[in-house]
Chains A and B, each alone.
Chain A
């Protein structure tokens, strides 16, 4: 029994289809990351589950119960908004207890539940404060505590970390993961940030233009993307994408020559190579490439090169000495090359 299920869900806004034929099941206690660029339909999917929007077709179930026609109040889900949606005139405690009070929980139970939820997110010392007296990270904790206090069947999180600064985002991400593991709660986590999706999600669902592209474990989404979109969207910097030309038993992809797989001869192909798979050498084998830009980021170095008139990005160890304008030699192992159908974008083979 799925904690949250989408069956053939479609959402149209006038002539625009925001979501088409979504089939998706979130397991009990699972944290599913819903990731995609803006306009991909990820927030729509979340709002449909919450009941804030009505489906155009299909059905939604929570805990095996069809909730498609139920109002938000009857679905027993909690939501954390990107803007936190804290009531500015209420204290943190009143914000956390808002839903409980609205549902008529007796006062003596109320304060206990509020404190319990606040302690889980580490905001128990902020309870008397108003939202304007809290920092962004503290507000985020209060919003999360409010979602927890209700003990819902499903947590819906809409980009909850995107208003935090980088360091805090990483810390809070880890905290959220711990919290999820501890509570074993079912969560749907919407984000446009693929790193967040990969690090947080038990599984990752990639959406693009209203269509579910791939639903898989984070590792699988990264290693075995089903199409060019997923391959390019997951991973930073994006996978290098090269047009190919067949010649005998070989495929020319920019500066690289790779063996031409059998059975794919009829189609026009594109080759994808992740930056970490571009091999750099000072001399010897490989095609010469000119170093254009070097970005040192401490634990790794990103190198932008031009080889045979094609731009490439490579991830190198920080120990490699590089100077702009120098010539390096680039190569790739055939097993690290992805091949896509140039028309449909579908992944045809990873030579792995």
Chain B
């Protein structure tokens, strides 16, 4: 009974659509296996970031599988090749996700994560997440999996018997090359050429991407798979989609090791591949702007999204190179507004394998660097069991006396370095020089190590570093008054030669300048690590079987090692979710930098829209108020969005009870935008106007017509400010703009009329015209206003086939709105609405507009009567529609109707379907 209830509950989550479009999708043609492609502007991309992804990419690295094959061949004489192992691995990865996602979208596996899940899963997930063991969770997963098998078999049998029943559909393909099918990553609006390319890819045999489990002729070392949820219950998915993906990740990790179906897909490697660390080898990426995990302004989420920087070409700084990084939250503000959907990650017609290879190489490099830091710090934690910070501080002090620091340049220099490093790590006065290390450590160390004793070691070293820096502070204070206090005339008693790399990175130019004035040549890295040549070694690593290894030449070297370990643990904690935490399949918003910019309130996608609306209202009010004045004068003031100048962190616990560091935006209020405009009328025989604003780029327009044709604008701008294609942005220093202009052409009649219009209602009418005109101009902002274009590959393929292997240019508009090809997009909308509600294919569709009789071209909303023809009835099906082509808004005013009996019968079915 419980089981049946569970089935019903999960089935309630997803219903496959029973539309004609989707029954068409049930056919096995390639076009129907892709989601409609969404092209979006920056603002829309930002809005979509909170919506769950319907199409994802799996970026995989088969290095370990290849290495396994190499080992089997060379060490065990097994007849196996790397190519074979890589191919099987790629197929197995595709298979595990296809199996899991297929069962999830068909409601056969229950959601197990988030609010939508049964609460009984929560303690099991928490226990596993907090590394208290995953046995109970795995047992329950196995149970759910077994149940799902039976349901899947039942579904498949039903679908075979009753094809109209329609399953939720899933597409899985290998991306060999980024093409127009991923065109939304490269452009915000589909072009005619994109439609042609999509058509050729999906309609021509052998041109498009191969299925996930197809053999490939290329190497499978790096691969990109695309998973499309083609037919799902959209409304339910919008609500539960993030839980869906979180559940899919958990199931996939389990199924990789335990599911018999996956074992079968692994072929000969069925008992060996489960030992591969799948979580380390793949990364899930939303195919576009929507997200797999809900974006949050939290350290580890930001650190995952920062992986985007590693997808850029080699050599582009990523933030992962810094020894003491400011963290992804600081990089977010530093990078600011940037391009999106502009191919900024090099996805324009690129070989997917080489793209993935570059990303994987940079990712692995960062991972290795971080692991080395972690390993070094854990090792050093053991050293500290012998040398306490108290002993170290005492030994440092005695060394200064014993080896006469005042006359010993290397010793004094290393002491100066230790003092400065200690200060950076501890001194509250130097907060500006360092990130919030303590909060990051509190939130990150839980994730970095699989082992409890290692974690304790990390905590130990953190305490030791802080303790040591505290103990050394009085000594450093006194040295600053003695050895380190040098007059310009004195010979310098120290230099910065022994400063560690991380401190050098922090001090930047300050140290570089000082170093040039030093007398000795800077030592190389190894010598710097060793420090001053103390006559006797201070600390050795001994082992019964090996010769001793020198750990610290001097107590100062040990102090630097402690500080370095502390900095390394901070680094590792900062990037823990991205580079460590091997227990979870990772996902990153690679293609949408606005996911985190929006989550952290740095970017508001609605700001431009809200501002345009507010400006319109204000201008209308001002028009009323200024109507009685002798000359048209307007004053406008609108609030400018406060600028985010920083993100402050606070430590808390997430829904699974793990530590996290959340960030809140710190805003700086900007001066409100003020614009003064006066139409001076015909001063020198031509009508003139002036405008002053404390903001740049304010449109200069008189009465919304082309009245001012010769004008001049000047602002205080020094540098242009906008997102560049490469994602970079430059800042402007502009503070104001001044414009003036006079009309000289025929259309100046409007302006002349305005300036000479008598005060009163006529003047208001001109003011209102100006307000609406400026509003219309503001709505043309294709960057900061939400805009979406959708291309359905199935419709593109149909058009291509029906028109002799070409797309008629007239179809561009309707196909770009996600509709079938019709010359009038409003008619295409009506046809689409009918198809979705009836499941029947519309053959013809046209609209007769109410205002067609007067013959004048019109902009703005138009009402009309749509007439559709279908194969199933002999007459037209009618529907009243309202369509605004300029703002691309299409809506039905009435329901479908018809005069024909046959068509009425079809509509009865339609109503039932509705």
A binds B: no
Q: A residues near B, CB below 8 A?
A: none
Residues of B that sit less than 8 Å from A by CB:
none
